[in-house]
Amino acid sequence: MTAARVSAPLGATPAATAAAANVRAAVTSACEGLVQRETLVELVALCAVAGEHLLVIGPPGTAKSEAVRRIASRLGGSYFEYLVGRFTEPTEIFGPIDLRRLREGVVETETSGMLPEAELVFLDEIFLGSTAILNTLLGVLNERVFRRGHTHLRCPLRVCVGASNALPEDPQLAAFADRFLARTFIEPIADAGLEELLTAGWSLGPSANLAPSESAQVASLHDLDTLATTARAMDLGPVRGQLAHAIRIVRAAGLELSDRRIVRLQHLIAAAAALAGRQQPTSADLWPIIYALPTQHAQRLGRDVLRELLATSHSPALVAAAAESSLGPRARGERLLREASAVLAQAPSTVQAGAAVDDERSQSAAAWRLRLESVAREIDATFDSASLPPELAAARAQLAAQLQQASPAATSSS
């Protein structure tokens, strides 16, 4: 079973369709080996197309930086990453002062290899930055312009991902945080995913913390720019009524969205449509609303109150993000299809030789069988036979066949 295909609906340009397919491939590649981080990876791609920024909130050691690093390497472009601390100097992020020019009485910053020249940026513990750092960052985030002393530089920044353990409570920091339109909240891996986490973590080995390499690139900045152009050219008229209705529902539930966030949310919706291979957004592309809600509680409540409106959410390119935001059956089915495809592709390899051959193979097969059962269980607990999507029904049949093969006496009732 292959990964979800990006089809070419009527009206989609070949260039946009190809770009969407490339970004989709980049997302799929970046997610390999990551456990339960698909939404984060997909949101980075969404924000890069939309020209917006992403805030990731989660405890330390939850693969936030690894996920961002991976998608950055697959998308190409220059990448800058830094762990911000209370005593971090602006020069560590923006570059040192050019001493030669300083002797001439001109304060210029040497930005080569630093944030102002990066196309994808990840700043960990971003709210620990000093006022000097955050004030300079504001200009970069809002206007894509770096200003410091005599240096005025237009920045090629596509997306800045900021990470923190928690949302800031300080009003000034909260105002800075509002510049990150999209937000996602990361939790440690649940118990059910621990075996997969251990397997994936061991497979990564010592290469886990290396900087992105050019050889990993799958898509390109040209693809991002093609999709961004497509998104900017879209007519959002057909969905503005539904979007306004959604905002009213959200407000009626007591959730606040600033006017700025409401207006800029349209960028995410248009980007979602472009990545889905559409020339114009539809109701299937409204799901980014959830990620524009500012807190974890707001996003949970938003999913609940917008359940009906987001029921048709669908993104062949951003499967996990659409499914997680909408709780809709179509998005859920696509997520399960992707999980079924992934686990079917993970059939355990044979062990070469040695006294432990049978034990290792047995344990490996048993672990795989448990993963097969887990996906089959979720499919049957989610869809009855009449409403099971055809592709998912085919995947289910493959799962059942593999489980039948593993235990012919005990698995099937037939």
Partner 1 sequence: MSVGGPLLPLELTPRREPLEPQAAAALGPAALALAAHLLARPAEALHALRGVAGADVLAVLGAASDLPWIDGIAYFGRDERAPRLLLPTTVEIGPSPALLERALFARYPHLLAPVLVVPGARRVVPMATALPVEPARLRAYLEAP
In whole angstroms, how close is the CB of 200 to partner 1 at the nearest point? Answer: 18
d(CA 114, CA 136): 13
Q: Which residue carries 């973590």 as its tokens?
A: 201
Residue 300 binding partner 1, by CB under 8 A: no
Task: Tell me which stretch binds partner 1 (CB under 8 A): 48-56, 217-225, 303-311, 312-320.
Answer: 303-311
Bridge partners, residue 147, by sequence: 152
**Pattern 348-387, partner 1, x by CB under 8 A:** -------------------------xx-xx--xxxxx-xx
CB within 8 A of 303, min separation 6: which ones?
A: 290, 310, 325, 326, 327
Query: Which residue lies nearer to partner 1 by CB, 172 or 407?
Result: 407
Contact 376, 204 (CB under 8 A): no
Smallest distance, partner 1 to C-beta of residue 376, A:
5
Residue number, 173 or 327, with CB nearest to partner 1: 327
CB crowding 296-309: b at 16 or more within 10 Å, else e: eebbebbbebbeeb
191-210: which residues touch partner 1 (CB under 8 A)?
191-192
Which CB sits closer to partner 1, 169 or 384? 384
- How far is Cα 195 from Cα 210, in angstroms, rounded to an integer? 24
Candidates 236, 305, 327, 367; binder of partner 1 (CB under 8 A) is 327
The residue written with tokens 């949310």 in the block is: 265
User: Does residue 390 bind partner 1 (CB under 8 A)?
Assistant: no
Pairing of strands 151-154, 145-148: antiparallel
Size of the site for partner 1 (CB under 8 A): 28
Cβ closest to partner 1, residue 264 vs residue 369? 369
Q: Output 252 or 409, the one with its CB closest to partner 1.
A: 409
Q: How many Cα atoms sit within 13 Å of 399 on the Cβ side?
A: 27
Residues with Cβ within 8 Å of 52's Cβ and at least 6 positions away in sequence, in order, are 159, 180, 181, 182, 264, 267, 268, 271
**C-beta of 229 vs 382, nearer to partner 1:** 382
Instruction: Verify binding: residue 307, partner 1, rule CB under 8 A.
Output: yes
Distance, CA of 189 to CA of 58 (rounded, Å) = 11
Q: Give the shortest CB-41-to-partner 1 separation in angstroms.
A: 24
Using CB under 8 A, pick the residue from 91, 362, 363, 407 that binds partner 1: 407
| Nearest CB to partner 1, comparing residues 200 and 327 | 327
Give the phi and the psi of residue 148 in degrees, each rounded to 5.
Answer: -160, 115
Task: Give me 292's structure tokens.
Answer: 């524009």
By CB under 8 A, tell whether 311 contacts partner 1: yes
- Two structure tokens written together for 75: 């998308």
The CA-CA-CA angle for residues 101, 157, 88, to 5°, reads 60
- The three-class DSSP label of residue 16 is helix
- Amino acid (1-letter code) at residue 36: Q
* Least distance to partner 1, CB of residue 348, Å: 18
Stretch that binds partner 1, among 25-33, 72-80, 81-89, 304-312 (CB under 8 A): 304-312
HSE-up of residue 43 (Cα within 13 Å, Cβ side): 32
Q: C-beta of 254: minimal distance to partner 1 in Å?
A: 21
Distance CA 141, CA 212 (A): 23
Of 65-73, 106-114, 264-272, 406-414, which part binds partner 1 (CB under 8 A)? 406-414
Binding pattern to partner 1, positions 113-152, x when CB under 8 A? Answer: ----------------------------------------
Q: Which of 258, 239, 268 shows the shortest CA–CA distance to 44?
A: 268
Tell me how far, at minimum, the Cβ of 108 lies from partner 1, in Å: 57
- Interface residues with partner 1 (CB under 8 A) are 191-192, 307-308, 311, 327, 329, 373-374, 376-377, 380-384, 386-387, 400, 403-404, 407, 409-414
